[in-house]
Amino acid sequence: MAQVREPDCSFIKGNDMSTVTSLYDAWLAVENDLIVGYGAMEDWPGISDWSNLEIIDADGKIVLPTYCDSHTHIVFAGSREGEFVDRINGLSYEEIALRGGGIINSAKKMQAATQEQLYQSALMRINEMISQGTGAIEIKSGYGLSLDAEIKMLRVIKKLKQALPIPIKATFLGAHAIPPAYKENRQSYIDLIINEMLPAIAQEQLADYCDVFCERNYFTPEEIISILNAAQKYNLQAKVHAEQLSNSGGVLAGIKVGAVSVDHLEYVGDAEIEALLQSNTMPVILPGAAFFLSLPYPPAKKMIAAGLPLAIASDFNPGSSPSGNMNLMNAIACIQYGLTPEQTINASTLNGAFAMGIAENYGSIAIGKKANFIITKEIPSLAYIPYAFGSNLIEQVYINGVKYKGY
Ligand code: NIG
Ligand code: FE
């Protein structure tokens, strides 16, 4: 049984990331939706303490908490494999975006989609993600880029929250790209976000966080600070897409406004690492996006060696990471970034929970936490999961103590 922690341990950093506290030959007790006990088999109290006990035999298998995926864009319309082929044929992500592809391509498709279509397609993606071991998800808007379409996306996320038993956090990402109609007057789009979108979203209580894309050709550090400060007036804590395509100041700006997380981080340098060490901001890496876009790797090992915590998320979206498989994200982090399997488990469970504000109830096997856990197939060790990266090794997933069978 892996990732067994004290309930008040809310994230893991530095050297401690190299260890996943585990019990060999263990039992886990679940009552209703909560973890109520665990221990070594030799200390098993016997079944007389419980009535109506159902026993699940996990002999030879590994039990671990479900993954907490703190960064996704899974409400989207259509797919973008045409851009994938364009990249194979030599264009870059930025070149495609400048021609009206990229986020703007998804925004066009979003305008035409109904709430019901968006809901059904997102539900399918969530079902696939849960079957792959994910038990908590953050979802961003950001393909709307107009008041109505951003609200449409956020209403879909709200409906998913209400319908599903896993925790879902909603993030408003109006500042994902400048819509073409505002190209010559970007400030008026920023004004629209601050003066119209944010109040409407707060009024309907549609978001938990506010995110922004800090990047050349997208939003500057000054612009994101003004948006994130405005969001804070509505109690929306900040998140930032930072240093993905260039070192453009997103991390430092995010820390300045007390961001809960800064995400991507391919172009993070020493100044950002130093500032992160002085902050409570969780650095989040998104190996799927860097892999899919052939970006340089973030200095993940260096960040951990400096003493930082690190979270891993999927960034599941149609343009830069068309996968929500956290086993694969961890494998990429191991194979390409040189993280150990233990570091990736800490990053994708408890630290992911911290990056979405739910570490109190999710992200580890701990007394009082929700019984969201994975039972693997029979495997020799935890390291076998990223090692056998092409296999599906998740046998069962339990959500709130109930075996997942599809929603
Ligand atoms: O996280 N970096 C910005 N946003 C997304 C990409 C969105 C898209 O291409 O549709 C990301 O990678
Ligand atoms: Fe993203």
Tens of pLDDT, residue by residue over 119-148, are 999 999 999 999 999 999 999 999 999 999
Mean pLDDT of 37-44: 94
* Residues with a CB atom less than 6 Å from ligand 1: 102-103, 106, 213, 241, 244, 289, 315, 317-320
d(CA 334, CA 353): 20
Q: How far is the CA of 264 from the centre of ligand 2 (A)?
A: 8
How many of the other CB atoms lie within 10 Å of CB of 73?
Answer: 26
d(CA 401, CA 398): 5
Q: How far is the CA of 51 from the centre of ligand 2 (A)?
A: 46
pLDDT for residue 276: 98
Mean pLDDT of 238-266: 98
pLDDT in tens, 284-297: 999 999 999 999 99
> From atom 1 of ligand 1, which residue's Cα is the shortest distance away?
315
Strands of the sheet with 311-312, listed across from one edge = 67-69, 134-140, 168-175, 209-213, 237-242, 261-264, 282-285, 311-312
- Minimum-distance ligand 1 atom for the alpha carbon of 264: 1
Percent of the chain with pLDDT over 70: 100
Which neighbouring-strand residues pair with 118?
none
Summary mean pLDDT of the chain: 97
Displacement of CA 46 from its chain's centroid (Å): 39
pLDDT for residue 380: 97
> Quick one: pLDDT band at residue 48, thresholds 50, 70, 90?
confident
- Minimum-distance ligand 1 atom for the alpha carbon of 93: 9
Mean pLDDT of 374-398: 98
| 196, 203 contact by CB (below 8 A) | no
Q: How far is the CA of 329 from the centre of ligand 2 (A)?
A: 14
Residue 282 has pLDDT above 90, yes or no: yes
Pocket test for ligand 1, best of 76, 84, 173, 176 (most atoms within 8 A of CB): 176
Pocket test for ligand 1, best of 241, 264, 266 (most atoms within 8 A of CB): 241
Q: Per-domain residue ranges for the chain?
A: 14-65+364-403, 67-356
**Residue 320, both tokens:** 């830069």
Mean pLDDT of 259-266: 98
Q: How far is the CA of 317 from the centre of ligand 1 (A)?
A: 7
Residue 279 has pLDDT above 90, yes or no: yes
pLDDT for residue 128: 98
Read off φ and ψ for residue 365, nearest 5 degrees.
-85, 105
Query: What fold, for 14-65+364-403?
Result: Urease, subunit C; domain 1 (2.30.40)
> Quick one: pLDDT band at residue 52, thresholds 50, 70, 90?
confident
Residue 107 has pLDDT above 80, yes or no: yes
Which neighbouring-strand residues pair with 209?
171, 237
pLDDT for residue 125: 98
| 167, 363 contact by CB (below 8 A) | no
Mean pLDDT of 202-222: 97
Domain 67-356: CATH architecture, name and number where available: Alpha-Beta Barrel (3.20)
> Quick one: pLDDT band at residue 385, thresholds 50, 70, 90?
very high
pLDDT in tens, 70-96: 999 999 999 999 999 999 999 999 999
Q: For the whole model, what pTM was predicted? A: 0.98
Residue 49 has pLDDT above 80, yes or no: no
Q: Please give the full DSSP string across 129-198, using - where no structure is assigned.
A: HHHTTEEEEEEE--S--SHHHHHHHHHHHHHHHHH-SS-EEEEEEEETS--GGGTT-HHHHHHHIIIIIH
Mean pLDDT of 247-275: 98
Residue 321 has pLDDT above 80, yes or no: yes
**Residue 89, both tokens:** 């044929």
Residue 47 has pLDDT above 90, yes or no: no
Q: How far is the CA of 233 from the centre of ligand 2 (A)?
A: 23
